[in-house]
Amino acid sequence: MWCYNILLDSARCYAIRLLIVRDVVSEIIDSNYKKEGILMCGTGIGIAITANKFPGIYAAACYDTYATKRARLSNNSIVITLGGRITSYVLTKRILKTWLSLEFRTPIRSTPKIAIIK
């Protein structure tokens, strides 16, 4: 996330992250879950946990293209999170290209799992 690159204490950085997540997921919710989101932090984990606190948001931290495919095809992720400190530029491009090229479709083997998660 961009706030790691400027001189902010960690509490302020966390507060900014929460505001960004709130704005992104609010836009998705307001669109009746038609829009999608891409979020980044140091590892992608904390921001995924934060995004998943909002109703109907399925955020997945992705580190490779296989996990990205599964997040989209098996788990219907509408938000992808990436780790800026642990994912190279080249891999980030591959992950985003993979995620954006896929669409969750029903019925599939994972449909009952998605229904239970809801």
Query: Taking a C-beta distance cutoff of 8 angstroms, is the pair 81, 41 a contact?
Result: yes
Q: Which CATH class is domain 2-117?
A: alpha beta
> What are the residue boundaries of the structural domains of the chain, listed by start?
2-117
**What pLDDT does residue 68 have?**
95
3: annotated active-site residue? no
**What pLDDT does residue 6 have?**
37
**What pLDDT does residue 118 have?**
65
**Per-residue pLDDT of the chain in tens (118 residues, 90 and over written 9):** 233 333 445 666 777 778 888 888 888 888 888 888 999 888 889 889 999 999 989 999 999 999 999 999 888 899 999 988 899 999 999 999 999 999 887 656 666 666 676 6
Strands of the 79-83 sheet, one edge to the other: 37-41, 79-83, 59-61
Q: Active site residue: 3, 13, 41, 62, which one?
A: 41
**What pLDDT does residue 18 have?**
81
pTM, entire model: 0.77
Residue 102's contacts (CB-CB under 8 Å, 6 or more residues apart) are 69, 72, 73
Closest to 42 (Cα-Cα) out of 85, 77, 2, 4:
85
User: Angle at Cα 68 formed by Cα 66 and Cα 70, nearest 5°?
Assistant: 70
Computed on alpha carbons and rounded to an integer, the radius of gyration of the chain in Å comes to 14
